[in-house]
Amino acid sequence: MSAEQLKGHLDPLVLAILEQGPAHGYAIIESLRSRSDGVFDLPEGTIYPALHRLERSGAVTSRREVVGGRERRVYQLSARGSTALRQRRADWRLFATAVSDVLGLSPS
Partner 1 sequence: MNEIERYLADLSSRLRVGRRHRARILAEVHDHLGAAAAHREACGEPPEAAVGHAIGDFGPAPMMATQFNAAAGARAMRRAPCVAAAAGIAVCGGFLVAATSQPRTGVSGAASLATQLVFLAATIAGQVALVAGICTASRTASLWRAPTVPGEHRAFVRRSGLICAVALGVAALGWSSALLLTARRTAQRDLSTLIPGVAVMIVAAAASIGATYHLRVNPDDDDVVVPSRPDVLGLPEQAIGVVRRHPVLSCLAVAPLAGLATMSHAETTVLGALPWGLAEVGAVALAFVVLGPALDLRRDQRRTRAAGVRSPGH
Residues that bind partner 1 (CB under 8 A): 4, 7-8, 11, 24-26, 43-46, 48-49, 52-53, 56, 68, 70-73
d(CA 38, CA 25): 17
Provide the minimum distance between the beta carbon of 11 and partner 1 in the complex, in angstroms, as a whole number: 7
Looking at the Cβ atoms of 91 and 106, the one nearer to partner 1 is 91
Looking at the Cβ atoms of 99 and 106, the one nearer to partner 1 is 99
- The candidate with the shortest Cα–Cα distance to 62, out of 54, 74, 53, is 74
Provide the minimum distance between the beta carbon of 83 and partner 1 in the complex, in angstroms, as a whole number: 15
24 Cβ contact partners less than 8 Å away, ≥ 6 residues apart? 65, 67, 72, 73, 74, 75
Residue 60 β-bridge partners: 77
Provide the minimum distance between the beta carbon of 85 and partner 1 in the complex, in angstroms, as a whole number: 15
